[in-house]
Chains A and B, each alone.
Chain A
Amino acid sequence: MRQQDNKIIFTGPVGAGKTTAIGSISEISPVSTDVQASDMTLNRKGETTIALDYGLMQLGDGVRVHLYGTPGQERFDFMWEIISKGAIGLIVLIDNSRPNPSGDLQFFLNAFKTLRTHAPLVIGVTKTDQAPQPSVEVYATLLEKFGLHPPILEVDPRNGDEVRQLLMALLFTIDPGLEG
């Protein structure tokens, strides 16, 4: 990856909104590798991502920020480490309507623990209109046990402004004094 290229990883369980979130802020039509779901994923959505989602933000002068969405299914976890190599930030989207969203969060924090050692983390909680609990406070209490205090924000992945706020939280986590 060239010096001028930088990437941010969106991860989370099936149906959390990774593909939608990337699509809502990408400046290109997001590249997606969704196929008809053929397993238990079908219970949650008709199509699912089998390789990755890709979006792009261009900052001018050839500087680009690549947005990668990981496949949500565990059987594709071998790809997660490959995709996350060199990433400057990790956004975990948690679908609050799933049976055990707190367990999902712990799973993905563990899956990306290598990336978390050197890249900031932001949690986006989706579908809180369908399932308000667990609340942000519950997630914060859980994360505090791991010594983590990341931004935890409710978001609608279809809303580009809210996805952008996730990214801004990521930037301010790195540097609260960041100017721009």
Chain B
Amino acid sequence: MMTTVDAHTLMVLALGMDVRKLAILRMAFRMHKAIRYQLSESAHDVPVLAIVDVDSPQGWAVWDGFRAAHPALPALIVSSFAITDAPAPVLPKPIRVETLFPALQQLLVDKPVVAERSPLVAAQAEVALAEAPRVAVISHAIAEPVSSGTAVPALEMTAAMPASDCDGQQDDPVIPVAQKADAVPQVLPRAVAVWPQAMGSFDPNAGLYGVLRTLYRKRRSAAVLAHGKVVLHFYPAQEKCELLADLALLVQLCAAPKSELRLAVLPDGQESARPDAPSAHAVLWQVALWTARGRMPRGLDGNSQLRLRHWPNLTRLAAIPDAMRMAAFWTRTPASACMAQRMLGLQASDLCNFIAACLAIDLLDARLSAAACSPPPMVQPLPDVARRGLLSRLLVRLRGA
């Protein structure tokens, strides 16, 4: 399978890393704008640089195998240990983006790239060099860890970025080709998802969403009336909800948060839900989607730190595009919506819908944070070998089946 790349992407071969390190490296590449890097994940890819981790169980055998297969490919060695006679520049762990990318650029400076199989790639690399700002030289065989005096926390293989990346500004605006006809070809920044500057919001305490959410948190059963008519019976303790109105009316109520809603005690004989009634979660989730419509619950913003206590039961809830990615991401680590968008490349509206839905079923731990877009901590890596190509193909197979 050939990895899809455009003409301005530099392929980087990463060796000696497990699946999770590769995932974080991939995300770091995705966020880097000055030069577009992409992990080489197929035998058909033509790498122009390599990063070799010699701390894996195979140790230096990974390097030896790499050098035998790619005698001329510029490479960076990453290690937690001091290496005095390294055969290539060494980047000490923990790796930070502010040292990784300069080191990669320096490789390009030191050894003008000659693609191993494709002259096109070499030309791309030269273009990248022409456009990339020159940076401090990384010394060969660095033994000391990189200073931790920067604002970015030390996180092994973590994609960190400055908070300003989340303010909705594109710091590398793309100049239309027509305006640059006589200029040196430009390495275009990767299309990066940007959190909207003016994201819409809704009041999570108002309307049907607010009423049901409050009842659910208090585990209080009630009949909900709109305009004097009962629209639903809510049984949070039994995890059930009986819908007694047309869905169209419920949608209208969600879209009009100022609708007059009243609560009433459940009538005699109806203190228990019918066994076949929808689950409370399913109704709350759906009401959240009808209410949010791509907007953020008021009180949260793109920089609020969010965490899921556990995965939603997604096989029994209304579909949200990429809900599984978001569930996996936010169960793993606290992060802002802005960061999630950056790392996963998702639509802001889908993120907002997912957040509103998880807030409704009380799965979301959220707090406003001034530390906008701080990088998530590194998760424990799997000691297994890198198999992302396999995983991607399996995902394609599962989706296509």
Contacts and interface: CB of A to CB of B under 8 A. Distances in A.
B394 interface: yes
Interface in A63-102: 63, 65, 88
Enumerate the 10 nearest inter-chain pairs by beta-carbon distance, A residue then B residue, closest first: A180-B395, A140-B310, A172-B328, A175-B23, A176-B329, A176-B328, A180-B392, A180-B396, A59-B393, A151-B311
A180 B399 contact: yes
Interface of A: 6, 25, 57, 59-61, 63, 65, 88, 117-120, 132, 135-137, 140, 143-144, 149-155, 160, 162, 164-165, 167-169, 171-180
A90 to B, nearest CB: 12
B239 A135 contact: yes
B393 A180 contact: yes
A140 to B, nearest CB: 4
Given A118-B382, A152-B310, 17 more contacts: A60-B393, A136-B310, A137-B310, A149-B311, A151-B311, A153-B313, A153-B316, A160-B401, A169-B327, A171-B391, A171-B398, A172-B327, A174-B19, A174-B391, A175-B22, A175-B388, A176-B329
Nearest to B22: A175
A57 B394 contact: yes
Contacts of B23: 174-178
B5 interface: no
B327 A151 contact: yes
Given A118-B382, A149-B310, A175-B19, A88 B387 contact: yes
B282 to A, nearest CB: 11
A178 B391 CA distance: 8
Given A6-B387, A151-B311, A165-B315, A177 B327 contact: no
B324 A132 contact: no
A117 B327 CA distance: 21
Contacts of B399: 168, 180
Contacts of A172: 324-325, 327-328
Nearest to B18: A118
Contacts of B19: 174-175
Contacts of A177: 23, 26-27, 30, 325, 343-345
A168 B398 contact: yes
Interface residues of B, number: 43
Given A65-B394, A177-B344, A164 B401 contact: yes
Contacts of B397: 57, 59
Contact of A178 (B309, B315, B395): B395
A177 B310 CA distance: 18
A140 B387 contact: no
| A interface: dominant SS | mixed
A172 B329 CA distance: 8
Given A119-B384, A164-B398, A176 B325 contact: yes
B213 interface: no
B390 interface: yes
Most interface-central of B326, B345, B390, B391 (chain A CB within 10 A): B391
A173 B393 contact: no
Nearest to B361: A137
Given A174-B20, A178-B388, A168 B324 contact: yes
B332 interface: yes
A63 to B, nearest CB: 6
B383 interface: yes
Contacts of A171: 391, 394-395, 398
A153 B314 contact: yes
B242 to A, nearest CB: 15
Interface in B344-401: 344-345, 382-384, 387-388, 390-399, 401
Interface in B330-350: 331-332, 343-345
A7 to B, nearest CB: 11
A73 B358 CA distance: 37
A80 B275 CA distance: 38
A120 B345 CA distance: 23
Contact of A151 (B328, B388, B395): B328
21 contacts: A6-B390, A57-B394, A57-B397, A88-B390, A119-B382, A140-B309, A143-B310, A153-B311, A160-B401, A164-B398, A169-B324, A169-B328, A171-B391, A171-B394, A172-B327, A172-B328, A173-B328, A177-B26, A177-B27, A178-B392, A180-B392
